[in-house]
Chains A and B, each alone.
Chain A
């Protein structure tokens, strides 16, 4: 072991069921309290008001499920992943649960600086099989287009952004005629970010024409 080496636990977790309605700050607070209950040797920040050094990869919007979300907690000393799992899992619950643990040496960079792609699955429900076909065609048209400009509101102004370059995959898999799964791979990070809702907005005319609704939004992974 290298002298002075610091470690962190990289946690993969899911947010599902009723707990998908939690906001990002609720999740953070929930993790902090679960970590405190677990008795694991987590590292605290310095200063008068120490807090657990816990970072999240990318906040998940309220209502969106996450199947393989990521967060990282700094450790005060090296602990085995098995030990972390054993102590932390009982403090969480089925709908907010850690699914895998890695213990890694902590470098200078953020543990999540390299993440660039988020994958999503949107479950669509149509009144008729024809509706789903209309949406499938619209998805293809989106991919075929050279640019897809969406409006983004910031606190001060409205900007126009072309999201097309950072839609890496968009594919509608029709299961039985009325149910479809829209699989998306979208850019992450400040420059490349595309929100699934922005793709849905681009499809809005087709969704409305085909009588198709988005009934579930899942972020299936980050890489």
Chain B
């Protein structure tokens, strides 16, 4: 929250005023624990994050605690705050972050690390945990906490995994220890799934991820805060399932959110009703790593449509598979074919798709787009990656070939509408992520990545195609930060101090400054990125147990080099990935009785 006299000077004052519908404002004198929940990116992005909304809801349900939101102010506001000596304060009560008891910072994306430092700095807190004697205890969470080492010195603790249950435990311990720092940290270190670097030696500890067993029983925000300002995902969100076992070998989410857990149709219907009634949204978006995999997706969609048809609420399915079934689903919910349909074949050739275990055939994609064209869509978005392990030139060129086939399919099925066909091709660079079978693989350096982009661009059909590449510098940086060890903390701090408050929305990632920050620490950014890791080497995240065994990952890497696919365990036998150590048995999916 910004004081009045600064609001007239910033570009988006509505991001700093709070006062939204459904905001929870508690009397600070009547709660025992004040929890500031920060998103290290701007309001538009942060307010779109469902995980933060879940925690906000859960903490505020407790009478003894208040959860208050904090977002990273945009560059103009940061500058004004620093000039005026204004400290970062919560949107709910305008309380300075430094006066809160716990500061949670979610780490969704590596390039937000410097944003997290900006949150600490703007709050007037020393960046390093070791230098903080007062003020809130700082806790990190989110997918990047699965390799916390690059940011360890800035945090007092990390929550690994699902936050729903453990957040209450953090608060209980805080109360029992009456907020005395050492005692709280001591208590937190005893909790499962909480990594307390001052108490845990990475060489000796093993932090096992928190797993919510019964997702259906978990609270979900049914009266979410409704922003005044437009945000990125400005609609109701309903989390239908968590986890995915399709086993794409590059995908971190497919490992760290295992096993697949689904909410019941009846539960979802009830939540949807409450959310729409409490927010007035006219669109509800179903969230899952893959909506089409939700066991009772058709029943759910039918029920939602029946419920909302006359209330003018539409249903959105943001993540689908590459098949005709998914197109049918999209068709059943779409009133207008306004936005394009998205498919992610990830690789252009069958050989490479087998190697990454993306079990999609050319025919699946071509059938799916043909079905989409017949249903009236004219815009198709395709996601690919370049730089995948074992990628050869012909695999890159195969992307262009596949796009050409999509255009041909359009020519055949679209008739007179063919002229309006647009294929948006988005090409990311492969990033090896911790806890995936490809965690040991090397990443292309900047030059190699750009060369492959150029190779592809030269062969890509021009007509009907809009080609977009992810920024090579950002890709390399993201990969290096993702697999980094504790020595990167100094680099991150330097980068922050030299002005890199990177977030992809504000385009403040300055590659030159980052490169400089690396070289000042005697590291070469490109060389670090291009390194492959040895199978036997100790990895910086080896003390974080995500539930999936290293041995399973290694086996999958091996199968990848052999070009062997591994079927989804929902459709075949158990693959013994290791999750059964954490969950007595993998939960029955969906099931609505």
Interface residues of A (CB under 8 A from B): 17-19, 21-23, 25-26, 29-30, 32-37, 44, 48-50, 62-63, 91, 93, 95
Flag whether B569 is at the interface (Cβ < 8 A). Answer: no
CA distance A40 to B228 in the complex (A): 21
Give every chain B residue within 8 A of A17 (Cβ-Cβ).
19
CA distance A48 to B336 in the complex (A): 6
Closest partner residue, chain B, to A30 (CB atom): B228
Give every chain A residue within 8 A of B338 (Cβ-Cβ).
49
Closest partner residue, chain B, to A26 (CB atom): B228
Flag whether B279 is at the interface (Cβ < 8 A). Answer: yes
Interface of B is mostly: loop
CA distance A37 to B19 in the complex (A): 17
The minimal Cβ–Cβ distance linking B350 to chain A, given in whole angstroms, is 39
Contact flag A33-B21 (CB < 8 Å), given A26-B14, A48-B335, A48-B336: yes
Give every chain A residue within 8 A of B16 (Cβ-Cβ).
21
Contact between chains at A35 and B13 (CB < 8 Å)? no
Can you add 4 more A-B contacts, CB < 8 Å, to A18-B18, A26-B230?
A: A21-B16, A34-B21, A93-B19, A93-B21
- The 6 sampled A-B contact pairs (Cβ below 8 Å) are A17-B19, A18-B18, A29-B228, A33-B226, A37-B279, A62-B13
Contact between chains at B19 and A18 (CB < 8 Å)? yes
Contact flag A19-B336 (CB < 8 Å), given A37-B279, A63-B13: no
Of A23, A35, A44, A50, which one neighbours B14 at CB under 8 angstroms? A23
Give every chain B residue within 8 A of A35 (Cβ-Cβ).
280
Scoring B residues 326 to 342 as 1 if CB is less than 8 Å from chain A, else 0, what string do you get? Answer: 00000000011010000
CA distance A34 to B280 in the complex (A): 6
Contact between chains at A36 and B280 (CB < 8 Å)? yes
The minimal Cβ–Cβ distance linking B108 to chain A, given in whole angstroms, is 26
Give every chain A residue within 8 A of B281 (Cβ-Cβ).
33, 36
Give B337-373 interface residues, CB cut-off 8 Å to A. 338
Contact between chains at A22 and B14 (CB < 8 Å)? yes
Contact between chains at B277 and A37 (CB < 8 Å)? yes
Size of interface on B: residues with Cβ below 8 Å to A: 24
Closest partner residue, chain B, to A34 (CB atom): B280
Contact between chains at B229 and A26 (CB < 8 Å)? yes
3 A-B pairs with least C-beta separation:
A33-B280, A36-B280, A21-B13
Contact between chains at B280 and A37 (CB < 8 Å)? yes
Flag whether B282 is at the interface (Cβ < 8 A). Answer: yes
Give every chain A residue within 8 A of B17 (Cβ-Cβ).
18-19, 21-22
Give B10-56 interface residues, CB cut-off 8 Å to A. 13-14, 16-19, 21
Scoring B residues 276 to 290 as 1 if CB is less than 8 Å from chain A, else 0, what string do you get? Answer: 011111100000000
Contact between chains at A49 and B7 (CB < 8 Å)? no
Contact flag A21-B312 (CB < 8 Å), given A26-B228, A95-B19: no
The minimal Cβ–Cβ distance linking B17 to chain A, given in whole angstroms, is 4
Closest partner residue, chain A, to B16 (CB atom): A21
Flag whether B8 is at the interface (Cβ < 8 A). Answer: yes
Contact between chains at A63 and B7 (CB < 8 Å)? yes
Give every chain A residue within 8 A of B336 (Cβ-Cβ).
48-49
Give B216-234 interface residues, CB cut-off 8 Å to A. 226, 228-230
Give every chain B residue within 8 A of A33 (Cβ-Cβ).
21, 226, 279-281
CA distance A35 to B311 in the complex (A): 12
Closest partner residue, chain A, to B337 (CB atom): A48
Contact between chains at B8 and A63 (CB < 8 Å)? yes
CA distance A50 to B17 in the complex (A): 31
The minimal Cβ–Cβ distance linking B506 to chain A, given in whole angstroms, is 19
Give every chain A residue within 8 A of B8 (Cβ-Cβ).
63
The minimal Cβ–Cβ distance linking B354 to chain A, given in whole angstroms, is 41
The minimal Cβ–Cβ distance linking B107 to chain A, given in whole angstroms, is 30
Contact between chains at A25 and B19 (CB < 8 Å)? no
Give every chain A residue within 8 A of B277 (Cβ-Cβ).
37
Give every chain B residue within 8 A of A30 (Cβ-Cβ).
21, 228
The minimal Cβ–Cβ distance linking A92 to chain B, given in whole angstroms, is 9
CA distance A85 to B229 in the complex (A): 25
The minimal Cβ–Cβ distance linking A56 to chain B, given in whole angstroms, is 15
Give every chain B residue within 8 A of A26 (Cβ-Cβ).
14, 228-230
> Which of B19, B229, B277, B281 gathers most chain A CB within 10 Å?
B19
The minimal Cβ–Cβ distance linking A203 to chain B, given in whole angstroms, is 19
Give every chain B residue within 8 A of A25 (Cβ-Cβ).
230
The minimal Cβ–Cβ distance linking A46 to chain B, given in whole angstroms, is 12
Contact between chains at B7 and A21 (CB < 8 Å)? yes
CA distance A203 to B230 in the complex (A): 36
Closest partner residue, chain B, to A23 (CB atom): B14
Give every chain B residue within 8 A of A18 (Cβ-Cβ).
4, 7, 17-19
Of B18, B19, B228, B282, which one neighbours A36 at CB under 8 angstroms? B282
